[in-house]
Amino acid sequence: MTEEIEFILDSTKESMNGSIAHLEKEFLNIRAGKASPAMLGSVFVDYYGSATPLSQVSKISVPDARTITLQPFEKNMLQTIEKAIMIANIGFNPMNNGDLIIISVPPLTEDRRRDLAKQAKVEAEDAKIGIRNARKDANTEIKKLEKDGTSEDLCKNAEDEVQNLTNSFIKKVDELLVTKEAEIMKV
């Protein structure tokens, strides 16, 4: 195979891996009943005029499966962090005891579990779209190489290889989705 085709295949694989990594990150934000510091990953705090991730202004810990505690590095940040959690609209009601912010993670209702499973399906579909777009881009590049004189057999083999990559990555997305749905629906 030519260097150009190898490069196209490598960049396609990298792009598809990026879609999988993004999906895994999004799945971390979909809570499955058990408390986790990742649930607060989307919360940003106004720290001296700049939006700063919550993890950089406080220590986040999970003492048990239903509680998240935050201990700010600076005491004067308690109200700011509490407000940021409320504004983030992630379904938590933070309590401030003067030293810590305590978040009780409510148990999930059956309806909420179904909604979260639907959200997981949407994220998985977005990942599949990303993978298919990477396939389309790769096939376009391969067609250009064919027009520029690369042999038809090499190009056909490269397109088959791109399709095999696509199939394997879509299978991985489906596996991740099944695992996440099982985790969400488990009471």
pLDDT of res. 146: 87
pLDDT of res. 187: 65
Position 182 pLDDT exceeds 80: yes
What single-letter DSSP state applies at residue 108?
P
Average pLDDT over residues 175-186: 90
Q: Tokens 């940040």 map to which residue?
A: 77
pLDDT of res. 33: 66
Answer whether 0.85 is exceeded by the pTM: no
Position 37 pLDDT exceeds 90: no
Q: 160 or 183: which carries more pLDDT confidence?
A: 160
Average pLDDT over residues 107-121: 86
Highest mean pLDDT among 2-6, 7-11, 112-116, 148-152: 7-11
What tokens appear for 75 in the block?
A: 């005491």
- For residue 96, give the H/E element and its range: strand 94-96
Query: Among 168, 125, 130, 124, which residue's Cα sits nearest to residue 19?
Result: 130
97, 67 contact by CB (below 8 A)? no
70, 81 contact by CB (below 8 A)? yes
- Cα gap 10→180, rounded to integer Å: 28
pLDDT one-digit tens code per residue, 49-85: 888 888 889 998 888 888 889 999 888 888 888 888 8
Position 177 pLDDT exceeds 80: yes
pLDDT of res. 25: 87
Contacts (Cβ under 8 Å, ≥6 apart) of 181: 117, 120, 121
Query: Among 135, 120, 144, which residue's Cα sits nearest to residue 16?
Result: 135
Position 4 pLDDT exceeds 80: yes
